[in-house]
Structure 1
Amino acid sequence: MEEKIELIVEESDEGMRIDQYISDNISQLSRTYIKKLIDDSKITVNGKEVKASYKLQGKDEVLINLPEPESLEIEPQNIPIDIVYEDNHVLVVNKPQGMVVHPAPGNYKDTLVNALLYHIDKLSDINGVLRPGIVHRIDKDTSGLLVVAKSDLAHKSLSVQLKEHTITRKYTALVEGIIQEETGIVDAPIGRHVKDRKKMTVTDRNAKDAKTHFKILKRFSKYTLIECKLETGRTHQIRVHMSYIGHPVVGDLTYGLKRQKLYSKGQLLHASTIGFTHPETGEYVEFSCPIPEYFEKVLQELGGNSSTF
């Protein structure tokens, strides 16, 4: 069964090519796939077929007919995973740095989903074969806690909580430089980078509101250890926001320093706490996990450790 997506073009987006507009608004669709949909007459504007070069007008009605995904068999793999909590509806897992959350075209193995399919008998199927049970993601090189839906009841409940920003998500991060304030808020909209489509950036163009709260945990000679709490959950939000205020996350090869002196194997960013209303009981539950060993080692080299904050 085809999925229909309708978009109404705002005046601020007038003059944009339709393929770029759809790519900016539906991040999971690549420009190549969008062009194929246009060529296959799966995308119309005001009920009419258009070319990829069509320039949008304000209040244009864009209709996207997404074909039913091809049937794929995602292979369960015996990859060890750290399960922090599990019941009949939800699973909280501590994802290691370097692991992709779910399969995608060209990368169908060694993901968290492959591991979950091996260890867990039942996952929610709302998100299809590629993302069973996956309600939210954290980046490949970010470690820490995710909540996974085992039942459709849990998936629907958690999705609503994410949309309404009622899920507690706290991260521990080591950033470049000394932050003077004890607490702060970065309130800056995030959208896809115009020139580099794999990156996000602070921008007013085709962007979504994004807000990150932070507080100081410990200051070192050239670095600051912080806790970040997400009010919204945009792609790469903490990494983009901290870079935007001049304190990129240590080890971040995309948004941070080009030459990393302290750690260069991925951003020192850990999803340390997650809290949500349990889909079945209606009670608020919260889970935390310590920073991983490699993160702890960096702090020790700087003259501190996680027991000091």
Structure 2
Amino acid sequence: MKTSLGDKIAYFSQESIKDIPLPERFTFPFFYEPHPLSRLAAANLQHYLETHTGLDHNFGLENDTDGSPIGKMFGVLVVQDPQGQLGYLSAFSGKLANSNDHPKFVPPVFDMLTENSFFLQGLEIITSINTRIDQLSTDNDYLRLQTALENARKNANSEISDLKAQLKLNKDKRKQVRAELKERLNEADYAIAEANVINQSLADKRQLKHLSDQWSQTISDLQNQVATFESEIESLKNERKERSADLQQQIFEQYSFLNKDKKSRSLRDIFKETPFGKPPAGSGECAMPKLLQYAFAHDYQPISMAEFWWGASPKSEIRKHQQFYPACTGKCKPILAHMLEGIPVDDNPLLDIKEDRSPLEIIFEDDSFVVVNKPAGLRSVPGVNIEDSVYSRLKRGLLATEPLIIHRLDMDTSGLLVVAKTPAAHKHIQRQFLQRTVRKRYTALLSKVIDQSGGMIDLPLGPDLFNRPRQLVCFETGKKSVTKWEVVTRYSDTTKVNFWPLTGRTHQLRMHSAHVSGLNAPIVGDDLYGTPSERMYLHAAEIEFVHPATREKVRFAIAEGF
């Protein structure tokens, strides 16, 4: 393996690739099995990461010691140079050791960290604004005035409240005096005495007004002094917001991506027609756009690609050390659609579904609902590009009425699915799902030996908005997700378990299996959170609910077959 001087390409030795044919098309980036050339390139890069000590980055592995552990996504792009030689380019997503400049790796599409760049200059101004805001926010006079204003308000409320209480007592006493005077004085004398009582009432009102005015003036003076600080702080915040927005727009324009014809499009232009309307944070910083940009700029022909995770698993996503992953959809898909324009790309395997025309097995049927044993690989309902599903098969003739889907199973999950035959049955059973009174048991084969015998997993889940349909663990915005589990059988390198989901979140069992804070063992064949196999070994084995007509509990079970 050699690297050309001044370039980032590492050439394969002819011996290492002599028996590997070139792929007919470029890799489909969002769902792929790495081509042998990509695997070879990835293995070479991983060897470099294992043996190279100058990266100064803590990946969370045993030999890392400096800083907080941060795993990283790396990418390789197999290319052919203008002379026909094969090699590969390497890249990392984001920054490595807080730097973009590493000899082995291609540069970013735009390096914001270049000395005296507009980004650093703009960031310096924004940082100075932040410093000024912090200085004003912690200014001793400002803090003293805030405290004085708070105390003035409290004292004003207290003193005015106390005076009002006293004036109420005075009023009650005057009322009593009036009653007594009226009993023992004649009309003329009572009028004179009444005038005196009225004067006392007016004096009380003047006293209350004077106290209120006095405190109002004091509070107003303090508010004006506090407002002087707050007005300057607010003005600085507005300036910071405007400068940040301008700087972001400048960055979007600097990120300009090439395709094979060297047609360039900016980040802002690429994302303006997406649902986001503007680029998400970090767009253009992933490995694959960096690799393609470098290849097109140097007239290299892309042959195949692969991306893998290196280091400790993050707290939110499912990422395993050395495992291959697809490019992200939210940030990379719009960019790669432009960059790969005109390049023959493998078909999306997710759309190449071999329809299983074997009959759909019906476990139970009556006038209210039907229970089917859904095979792995069949959708519960039709998708945008795939019609074949439990719904469509039932509708085609297995049911005389319109099938009413109550719940769903992932396409790769097999097992029991309940479909209503009447609106009343649909409403009744669906309510049970919503109230979490339906009891479900799943069986799964996990990708390692689990030492514990069982337990509970409580990890809140939410959607990965920039990488659908993947889910994230999020303790701030995620929804509560709880799973009971129990080991059934331990094998040499796998474990069969039973799951009882106590909540019904998307991909709950898959996430709770794979996440480092869950069982840290992806379900065998889970191509989203683990590694692909002939199928995903997750089976909906048992379901129990109240029959919508008889109001008695019914239970259905079917063995997993693995």
**Shorter-chain TM-score: what band?**
0.5 to 0.7
Change (3 A) 1:111 1:218: same
Aligned residue number for residue 555 of structure 2: 286
Larger radius of gyration: 2
Q: Which residue of 2 aligns with 1:200?
A: 471
Aligned to 1:155: 426
Deviations along 1:65-108, whole A, 9 cap, x unmatched?
Answer: xxxxxxxxxxxx9861100000000111100011011113232x
Q: 2:527 aligns with which of 239, 242, 253?
A: 253
Task: Trace 1:143-222 onto structure 2 (pairs within 5 A).
Answer: 143-222=414-493
Amino acid at match of 2:391: V
- Of 232, 237, 245, which residue of structure 1 is paired with 2:508? 237
CA distance in 1, matches of 2:465, 2:399: 40
1:92-107 mapped onto 2 (5 Å cutoff): 92-107=371-386
TM-score of the two chains, using structure 1 as the length reference: 0.64
Partner of 1:268: 537
Instruction: Determine the C-alpha separation between the residues in 2 that align with 1:33 and 1:266.
Output: 36
Tell me the residue number matched to 1:116. 394
Which residue in 2 is equivalent to 1:81? 360
RMSD: 2.4
**Structure 1 segments (4+ residues) deviating >6 Å:** none
Q: 1:10 aligns to what?
A: none
**Identity across matched positions, percent:** 36
Secondary structure at the counterpart of residue 405 of structure 2: coil
Give the TM-score, by structure 2 length: 0.36
Deviation at 1:190, TM superposition (A): 0.9
Contact 1:167 1:275 (C-alpha < 8 Å) held by counterparts: yes
The letter of the residue matching 1:208 is K
Match of 1:90 among 347, 359, 369: 369
Q: Distance in 2 between matches of 1:170 and 1:34?
A: 40
Could you tell me how far apart the structure 2 residues matched to 1:135 and 1:205 are?
A: 30
1:190 alignment partner AA: L
Q: Within 5 Å, give how 1:12-161 maps onto structure 2.
A: 35=275, 80-107=359-386, 109-117=387-395, 118-123=397-402, 132-161=403-432
Give the corresponding residue for 1:7.
Answer: none
Structure that is richer in strand per residue: 1
| Amino acid corresponding to residue 273 of structure 1 in structure 2 | E
Q: 1:120–1:188: structure 2 CA closer, same or farther, 3 Å change rule?
A: same
Q: Distance in 1 between matches of 2:481 and 2:405?
A: 22
- CA drift of 1:52 comes to 5.9
Match of 1:159, SS?
Answer: helix
Residue type of the partner of 1:255?
Y
- Number of residue pairs the alignment of both structures matches: 211
